[in-house]
Amino acid sequence: MMNSAFSYINNSTNVRILHTNEPQPEPASAATEEPHLLIRPLQPSDASGVQAAFERMSPLSRYYRFHSGLRRLPDSMLHYLTHVDGIDHVALVAIERWGSLPPVGVGIARFVRLAQAPDTAELAIAVVDQAQGRGIGRRLLQELAVVARAHGVSTFTMAVLAGNRRVRHLLAGLGASGSGTDASVIDYRVPVAALEVPASRAHLLA
Ligand SMILES: CC(C)(COP(=O)(O)OP(=O)(O)OC[C@H]1O[C@@H](n2cnc3c(N)ncnc32)[C@H](O)[C@@H]1OP(=O)(O)O)[C@@H](O)C(=O)NCCC(=O)NCCS
């Protein structure tokens, strides 16, 4: 069950996930119309889209996200990733719409509360390769932070592969601190408050 903090987000059932071999929207549509980004809670019915997106992400992005070389999400993992409770395990999906083209799922961010430290949650995020570098990851984190704070989560943790320069850059910009005995993985702690709250959503913290 999702908390009422999500009531401002429209649910969309007409979602498809961007395939890496699909053409990008024509520049002309971008020139004439701004893309509309919808961020909403992930639903169990998104499972097939999540699997499709995973299979079509670049091997490097998959590796950075899951720290493994899996080519397909096992059914048990897919079930876990898409059946969230909205309180201790929250996942948001970003859906982009360009003009009259069908909506496209472009990213997911989630947190899972730590049982031993309820004010802390493990953070994970992925944006499909073609949509990276356009601010969607940052926006997903902002929205996830709104939900986290509403549920009493004040710190995100994240285990980041040392070679993942993009997410390290993103975390450094948020004032996150990193540590780790294993040089290949850096354990970050991110204060949720460091994530900017979009003004239009600030009332949700009241
Ligand atoms: C990490 C990830 C989610 C970022 O999503 P994104 O939509 O590309 O991020 P944004 O566009 O919001 O950019 C975030 C920051 O990364 C920076 N960035 C973008 N491309 C970069 C690159 N090639 N190298 C270094 N930094 C880069 C941006 O400049 C931005 O920082 P800024 O706002 O200070 O300029 C995305 O790259 C991804 O899915 N990577 C694979 C999975 C992964 O690594 N997940 C994290 C571990 S769970």
Position with higher pLDDT, 70 vs 205: 70
Q: What is the pLDDT of residue 196?
A: 62
Q: What is the pLDDT of residue 14?
A: 33
Atom of ligand 1 nearest to the CA of 141: 12
Whether 181 contacts 158, CB under 8 Å: no
Looking at this protein, which amino acid is placed at residue 77? M
- How far does residue 92's CA lie from ligand 1's centre (Å)? 17
Which of 29-33, 88-92, 115-119 is least confident? 29-33
Position 109 pLDDT exceeds 70: yes
Residue 111 tokens, joined: 């947190």
Whether 137 contacts 107, CB under 8 Å: yes
Mean pLDDT value across residues 142-169: 94
Q: Which residue's CA is minimally distant from atom 22 of ligand 1?
A: 166
Residue 17 tokens, joined: 């996930």
Atom of ligand 1 nearest to the CA of 133: 11
Residue 81 tokens, joined: 């990733």
Position with higher pLDDT, 201 vs 60: 60
- How far does residue 117's CA lie from ligand 1's centre (Å)? 28
- How far does residue 137's CA lie from ligand 1's centre (Å)? 6
Residue 51 tokens, joined: 């699997």
Whose tokens are 């509309």? That residue is 36
DSSP assignment of the chain equals: ---GGGTTSPP-S--EEPPTTSPPPPHHHHHHSPPEEEEEE--GGGHHHHHHHHHHS-HHHHHHHHSS--SS--HHHHHHHH---SSSEEEEEEEEE-TTSPPEEEEEEEEEEETTEEEEEEEEEEE-GGGTTSSHHHHHHHHHHHHHHHTT--EEEEEEETT-HHHHHHHHHTT-EEE-SSTTEEEEEEEGGGSPPPGGGGGGG-
Distance CA 33, CA 47 (A): 30
At residue 59 the predicted structure's pLDDT band, cuts being 50, 70 and 90, is very high
Atom of ligand 1 nearest to the CA of 124: 48
Dump pLDDT digits (tens) for 7-47.
223 333 333 334 344 554 454 444 456 778 899 999 999 99
Residues having CB closer than 6 A to ligand 1 are 61, 64-65, 124-127, 132-138, 160, 164-167, 169-170, 173
- How far does residue 206's CA lie from ligand 1's centre (Å)? 30
- How far does residue 170's CA lie from ligand 1's centre (Å)? 6
Q: What is the pLDDT of residue 79?
A: 97
Dump pLDDT digits (tens) for 156-193.
999 999 999 989 988 888 888 888 756 789 999 999 99
